[in-house]
Amino acid sequence: MTDIASLADLVRRAWAAMPDLPSARLGDGAAWTAAPDDRSARLGDGATFSAPPSTTHSSSTPPGPAARLLLIDGPSGSGKSTLADELHASLSDTGAILIRMDEIYPGWSGLEQATTILARDVLAPWRHGEPSGHTLWDWAADASAGWRDIPPGHPLIVEGCGAASGWADDPATVLVWVEASDVTRKRRALDRDAGTFDEHWEMWDAQWRHYLARADYRARADAVIRTD
């Protein structure tokens, strides 16, 4: 079982990071501020994150308020939504807003399009301190269903397949990768959706593998959580 308190603390450290302070590098580019004797953070499931004491970090993000962002990605059925709910509750005092990719995908064939929507309509304006938002998708009606406004100035938690496409080389961006075996995650996903996912599983999984061919998002992750 993942130690949510330790994972939430990892996020808080990253969100408090400043470019001119000593930092511990996590994954591929993200960092959190570290005391001189702070070398690692351990999660209850055994994942450990370590860093050399002298690592420095430079951000490619334009100057301005830190864009505090938590991205939770991984294959369907791996447990992303559950983890996102727990972290959102643990970080409630920060005013973080939870965004689910399930609300953005324009249907079963929309994973790739949703990553464009996330980058263009949500993260680009949000990173500049501007209001943002996205079209909502009604799965029952198989049609768009209005617009969700995202107010500026709040940290964001984005969870779902494709969330890692919003990763940026910024110390206040944290990427968590959640995974499980193919057998376990397929069983969970199909059981969860009570039959509605069955006929779309192969198409969705093909989109997922195409998405993974973009970049090794798992290697960039600050934490990799195994749920089986």
**Residue 148, Ramachandran bin (φ over 0: left; ψ between -120 and 50: alpha; else beta):** beta
pLDDT score, position 112: 97
Q: What is the pLDDT of residue 27?
A: 39
CA dihedral 189, 191, 193, 194 (to 10 degrees): 160
Count of residues in the chain: 228
What pLDDT does residue 65 have?
Answer: 56
pLDDT at position 106: 96
Q: Which of 219, 192, 188 is CA-nearest to residue 26?
A: 219
Quote the pLDDT of residue 66: 64
Q: What pLDDT is recorded for position 57?
A: 35
In order along the chain (228 residues), what is the average pLDDT of each group of 10 residues? 86 77 36 31 39 33 67 96 97 97 96 97 95 94 93 97 91 94 90 84 93 95 94
Taking CA atoms, 12 is separated from 7, 212, 217, in Å, by 9, 28, 21
The pLDDT score that the predictor gives to residue 31 is 34
- Residue 17 has a pLDDT of 73
Residue-range domains of the chain with CATH: 4-50 (no CATH), 69-226 (3.40.50.300)
Contacts of residue 106, defined as CB under 8 A and 6 or more positions apart, other chains included, come to 113, 114, 117, 135, 137, 144
The partner residues of 49 in beta bridges, in order of sequence, read 41
